[in-house]
């Protein structure tokens, strides 16, 4: 069944990302060009998530935009169109525990590598939103505001954002005190108040300077987790990659 998307709001009609960079790389002989984008780095809770998308050269869908420009319902609808359209796509996560243990930069590199590994294709060139190359290996190209300019990065941004939002909405059922269904783990006044009153949950990043200083003034609201011996198996956040290749 074809998923339809409502007509674009007027403010978004002239802001379509294009395929200029991808076409230049395809013309230069690079077959697998991957757009990559990250979500969740600034969150207090939940995983750091990286999306990777390989868009087809011969088929185009419209109304793809930077995920930040779209409302949550619009992103959900676009996700259902983008996922089957992509030649390949994958999501990689770094858990809150890994963010604490490794630091945010190393955790982002880890999530990105998991996303690329999940594609099922060897990435020849990688297009990254921003000005930091967290892929390495001499195959990446950074593009400032790439999620607004580059179609493959925009597609990756929607896939990553929707996947992570779904995780946080599911976690809201287990941790209702923190309103994860609305804030998705990001800072906001209600989230801060919940942390002060109840302390961090087991999916909060304890290494954040602010959450380290939060007193445990309420009951332990962390959901019980099994105790593992080393090496630790994948966490709740699907540290094996979610991927779909067509």
At 49, the pLDDT band (50, 70, 90 cuts) reads very high
CATH of the domain at 155: 3.30.420.10
Q: Do 133 and 51 belong to one domain?
A: yes
Helical ranges in 175-238 per DSSP H: 180-183, 189-198, 209-212
Same domain for 204 and 83? no
Q: Could you read off the pLDDT of 150-170 as tens digits, one per residue?
A: 999 999 999 999 999 999 999
Indicate if 38 and 156 belong to the same structural domain: yes
Q: Is 2 a member of any domain?
A: no
What is the reported pLDDT for 9? 55
Shared domain for 114 and 189, answered yes or no, is no
How confident is the model at residue 229, as a pLDDT?
32
The domain containing residue 196 runs over which residues?
Answer: 175-212
Distance CA 98, CA 114 (A): 13
Q: How many folded domains does the chain comprise?
A: 2
């Amino acid at each position: 069944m074809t998923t339809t998307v409502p007509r674009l709001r007027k403010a978004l009609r002239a802001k379509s990302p294009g395929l200029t960079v991808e076409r230049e790389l395809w013309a230069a002989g690079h077959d697998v060009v991957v757009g990559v984008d990250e979500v969740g780095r600034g969150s207090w809770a939940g995983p750091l998530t990286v999306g990777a998308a390989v868009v087809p050269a011969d088929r185009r869908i419209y109304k793809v935009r930077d995920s930040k420009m779209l409302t949550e319902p619009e992103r959900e609808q676009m996700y259902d169109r983008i996922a089957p359209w992509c030649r390949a796509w994958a999501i990689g996560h770094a858990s809150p525990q890994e963010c604490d243990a490794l630091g945010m930069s190393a955790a982002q590199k880890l999530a990105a590598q998991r996303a690329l590994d999940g594609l099922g294709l060897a990435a020849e060139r990688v297009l990254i939103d921003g000005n930091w190359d967290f892929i390495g290996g001499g195959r990446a190209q950074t593009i400032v505001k790439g999620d607004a300019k580059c179609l493959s990065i925009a597609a990756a941004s929607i896939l990553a954002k929707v996947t992570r939002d779904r995780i946080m909405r599911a976690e809201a059922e287990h941790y209702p005190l923190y309103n994860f269904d609305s804030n998705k783990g990001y800072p906001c006044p209600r989230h801060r108040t919940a942390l002060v009153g109840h302390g961090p949950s087991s999916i909060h990043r304890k290494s954040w300077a602010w959450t380290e200083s939060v007193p445990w003034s309420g009951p332990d609201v962390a959901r019980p987790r099994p105790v593992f011996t080393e090496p630790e198996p994948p966490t709740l956040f699907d540290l094996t990659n979610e991927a779909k290749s067509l």
